[in-house]
Chain A
């Protein structure tokens, strides 16, 4: 099997001060433009937060959010289809830590495929992580239509 090392997913990061309504207005813009949010997670420093989105159309989302004066950037993450087997998450974590790769953050959403979940992972060495997980036979996704 040829090793694929570039199967990554686009994630949008949005900066927001801790003011009421910022998340609501960002998601409103996306929904008004027919963009589907697959998953999101918020990290909070107390004074500001960053909201990370996985959407069905990352490029269009960036365009619309920029136009509305949001500070946004695009980052690559791993989108991994979780096998429906016991211990899969433990196997992934062990493989990464055995190879000195730290998980910076992770979140998940239900896949379009029944009974499957997509795990979003950010790693200290993303390329290495992608290579490793591909080699171990995990199914990585490049988009989340």
Chain B
């Protein structure tokens, strides 16, 4: 089966936008009426439901943030009475205060439907055995995928967070055709299988990975696909949105965001809309959720959205590859710079080692950015001019991509931090 719901998945963009507009108006009216949180927020922003007529009017509504969920812990943003809640999920926050998400029966249905469409787009259906290796429990990954797999009539193998050797022997014995887990865990499974002398590509039925819950690069996708002989599909969705929801289709060129249930905006630093296809922060409005509706919820992910019809025939817009987190972003002379951009420039220059560090400081009123890279033995020339030219060449390539000047500094081998955490990669010395 090619589509789960061919009619809905192939509505014209025009029809989808009309549907979104209708559902947005109703969402805003309901939120105003049933949620004291949103009522207060709208009042503070000076907007009332009457102001929201067209899709563009959404720009008048205030944004919501993860901190709102924490500040209203546990259920201050819920819009239905407790009696209508059929499930809770809880995500542990890095700051200590968890985020509680509630679901009505209909919320679970919509979530499951979205996943059924997505899994079908990944080429899965009746006859497949899908091993869910996401944790079950308070985390949304396990149970969410579980319901989605059952919905499409495939067999679910709910291993959850089991031991890796067990994952591999069950995969082999039960003929698993697809696995849902994090990309790094699948790479780990591949390594452990190798140590068990099991070649996943030739000795198992595995042909697809539904991979997400952490950022991963196109390079790691390539590695997974080559090492394991499978197709690796990206999946997107956080607990606030319900859980994992959207995946790539067979084209593997963007994640289809089901527009009849979710309205995705991409906004710039000032919250204004960007041109279609331009990059910015992903903002989600849930058009169907009842228990915990989100209106203009800032996801913190940097990406772009494309409405152009996909080669798979689906018309729902595509969220393109996540390029980073807003939290990782540094602003230098008013220009947004992501460590990931710098990394990809450096990776294309063979003379440059694997490690780098960004130092931002202020010289008078001006920001100055330095990118430190390590000298490797093969780069080290006895002519100092060659090393200075290397610095200039890297600086030029960085400037071409970042649109801001970066001074490149060569440092001694082994002196830059090896961790990938932002706190180590970026040193901001500016006193603001």
Write the nearest CB–CB distance from B357 to chain A, whole angstroms: 13
Q: Is the CB of B376 within 8 A of A104?
A: no
A contact residues around B378 at 8 Å (CB): 73
Whole-angstrom CA separation of A73 from B386 in the bound complex: 14
Stretch touching chain A among B30-38, B138-146, B218-226, B407-415: B407-415
B contact residues around A45 at 8 Å (CB): 384, 387-388
Q: Is the CB of B412 within 8 A of A70?
A: yes
Write the nearest CB–CB distance from B45 to chain A, whole angstroms: 50
Q: Is the CB of B410 within 8 A of A48?
A: yes
Write the nearest CB–CB distance from A38 to chain B, whole angstroms: 16
B84 within 8 A of A: no
Write the nearest CB–CB distance from B391 to chain A, whole angstroms: 8
Q: Is the CB of A13 within 8 A of B411?
A: no
A32 within 8 A of B: no
Q: Is the CB of A48 within 8 A of B383?
A: no
The B189-226 residues at the A interface (CB cut-off 8 A) are none
Given A45-B387, A71-B377, A72-B377, A50 contacting B382 (CB threshold 8 A): yes
B381 within 8 A of A: yes
Write the nearest CB–CB distance from A35 to chain B, whole angstroms: 19
A contact residues around B412 at 8 Å (CB): 15-17, 69-71
Interface flags, A12-46, vs B, CB<8A=1, else 0? 01011100000000000000000000000001110
B375 within 8 A of A: yes
A contact residues around B380 at 8 Å (CB): 13, 15, 50, 71-73
Q: Is the CB of B376 within 8 A of A48?
A: no
Interface size on B, residues (CB 8 A): 19
B contact residues around A11 at 8 Å (CB): 382
Q: Is the CB of B411 within 8 A of A50?
A: no
CB-nearest residue of chain A to B414:
A69
Q: Is the CB of A71 within 8 A of B382?
A: no
CB-nearest residue of chain B to A122:
B382
Given A16-B412, A71-B413, A122 contacting B383 (CB threshold 8 A): yes
B contact residues around A73 at 8 Å (CB): 377-378, 380-382
A contact residues around B415 at 8 Å (CB): 17
Whole-angstrom CA separation of A50 from B377 in the bound complex: 12
CB-nearest residue of chain B to A13:
B382
Write the nearest CB–CB distance from A109 to chain B, whole angstroms: 17
Residue from A47, A104, A105 with most neighbouring chain B CB atoms (10 Å): A47
Residue from B375, B409, B412, B413 with most neighbouring chain A CB atoms (10 Å): B412
Whole-angstrom CA separation of A17 from B410 in the bound complex: 8
Interface flags, B302-341, vs A, CB<8A=1, else 0? 0000000000000000000000000000000000000000
CB-nearest residue of chain B to A62:
B377
Q: Is the CB of A75 within 8 A of B411?
A: no
CB-nearest residue of chain B to A104:
B383
Interface flags, A59-84, vs B, CB<8A=1, else 0? 00000000001111101010000000
B contact residues around A44 at 8 Å (CB): 384
B contact residues around A77 at 8 Å (CB): 382
CB-nearest residue of chain A to B377:
A73
The A69-118 residues at the B interface (CB cut-off 8 A) are 69-73, 75, 77, 104-105
Whole-angstrom CA separation of A104 from B415 in the bound complex: 30
Contact of B382 among A48, A49, A52, A69 (CB under 8 A): A52
Write the nearest CB–CB distance from B125 to chain A, whole angstroms: 56
Q: Is the CB of B377 within 8 A of A48?
A: no
Q: Is the CB of B382 within 8 A of A17?
A: no
A contact residues around B387 at 8 Å (CB): 15, 45, 48, 50
B contact residues around A105 at 8 Å (CB): 383
Write the nearest CB–CB distance from A21 to chain B, whole angstroms: 13
Q: Is the CB of A71 within 8 A of B381?
A: no
Q: Is the CB of A13 within 8 A of B381?
A: yes
Can you give 13 contacting A-B residue pairs, CB < 8 Å?
Answer: A11-B382, A13-B382, A15-B380, A15-B387, A44-B384, A45-B384, A48-B410, A48-B411, A50-B384, A72-B380, A73-B381, A75-B381, A77-B382
Q: Which 9 A-B pairs have the closest CB atoms?
A: A43-B384, A75-B382, A73-B380, A71-B413, A13-B382, A15-B375, A71-B375, A69-B414, A73-B377
Given contacts A70-B413, A73-B381, 11 further A-B contacts (CB under 8 A): A13-B380, A15-B375, A17-B412, A43-B384, A45-B388, A47-B410, A48-B387, A69-B414, A72-B380, A122-B382, A122-B383
